Amino acid sequence: MSTEVIAVADALGAAIAARSAQQFESLYADDVVVWHGATGQSMGKAENIGLLRAVFQLTKELRYVNIRRHVIDGGLLQQHQLTGIFADGKPMPVLEVCMVIKNDGHRIARIEEYFDSQTFAEVWARVAALTAGSSH
């Protein structure tokens, strides 16, 4: 496997575990596109990091486990489970994820992320409540 591609994927996992928006800032290319199969929508850097900040605010622990990787041209395909604990102590539902990560040098240029939106429904609901609460 390509050392550089694996290093970027490892850094992505470390940023999730650290719940660090700053680490995502440095990992993402300025023109990164993050596409979610669950919504069919693409996000740019600022929008995706904003979503991540909300998820980080709602949680006290996140991590990728049971990681499987396959190097592809220009990046890698990664399958993993996202596990975590909400800030109130309730375990998050385990989310099975498949991501296609495309690199542009040492930074992430594109992510295509596939997961079951129903499994993630409680997280979406909590993000929506947090967003609604902060806009008042």
- The one-digit pLDDT tens for each residue of the chain (136 residues) are 588 899 999 999 999 999 999 999 999 999 999 999 988 999 999 999 999 999 999 999 999 999 999 999 999 999 999 999 999 999 999 999 999 999 987 899 999 999 988 888 888 888 888 878 765 4
Q: Domain 3-126 has what CATH class? A: alpha beta
Q: Are 81 and 65 in contact (CB under 8 A)?
A: yes
Identify the H or E element spanning 13.
Answer: helix 3-18
**How much is the pLDDT for 10?**
95
CA distance 12 to 69: 13
**47: which residues sit within 8 A by CB, 6+ positions away?**
none
